[in-house]
Amino acid sequence: MPRPKQAAPASAPAATPASAAPQSASTHPTPKFCSNCGSPLSPGAKFCSNCGNRIG
């Protein structure tokens, strides 16, 4: 006898768009100046181009 099809588990969330909550840009804005040496930072920089300090 064939088994009846089961519905998706209730704990599985429905598919949500990837753009629903971009948290990296809105919750942690990139600072404009390095906290170590004070040099201006490029937008989206992860490291200071002057001293190499990690940003964020």
Judge whether 32 and 56 are in contact, CB under 8 Å.
no
> What pLDDT score does 5 carry?
74
Judge whether 43 and 28 are in contact, CB under 8 Å.
no
> What pLDDT score does 36 carry?
96
What is the per-residue burial (b if ≥16 Cβ within 10 Å, else e) of 9-40? eeeeeeeeeeeeeeeeeeeeeeeeebeeeeee
Q: Distance (Å, rounded) from C-alpha 40 to C-alpha 34? A: 6
> What pLDDT score does 2 carry?
72
> What pLDDT score does 16 carry?
55
- Residue 24 phi/psi, 5-degree rounding, is -65, -40
> What pLDDT score does 14 carry?
59
Which stretches of the chain drop beneath a pLDDT of 50? none
Global confidence as pTM? 0.46
